[in-house]
Amino acid sequence: QSALTQPPSASGSPGQSVTISCTGTSSDIGSNNYVSWYQQHPGKAPKLMIYEVSKRPSGVPDRFSGSKSGNTASLTVSGLQAEDEADYYCTSYAGTNNFVFGTGTKVTVL
């Protein structure tokens, strides 16, 4: 199973929005709604930000939103804040009990 494709980096100024794409195939993202997004700060464990494409766990700010179209999922961070600077990973169920991570995107707040 190949990793989902994400841009290596993305950036925005405080208050702006940034959108990260996550491209898979019809065998993973395109075949189900089990797409999640994780935020990881250096030296820390990942944190769940979005699950089932667009749902936010309790405690995650509504500045974070997710969507999907075809084989591509997206995470949008609105109203960027300094603490949003981190690595972000998408994930997807890939059928037959398999699972795949994205390549990761480093978000920089300028």
* Per-residue mark of binding to other proteins, 63-102 (x: CB under 8 A): --------------------------x-xxx---xxxxxx
Spatial contact of 109 and 18, defined as CB atoms under 8 Å apart: no
How is residue 13 written in tokens? 């100024």
Spatial contact of 105 and 60, defined as CB atoms under 8 Å apart: no
Of 16-24, 35-43, 69-77, 78-86, the window that binds other proteins (rule: CB under 8 A) is 35-43
CA torsion sign for 21, 94, 41, 66 is positive
Residues that bind other proteins (CB under 8 A): 1, 3, 34, 36, 38, 40, 45-48, 51-52, 57, 89, 91-93, 97-104
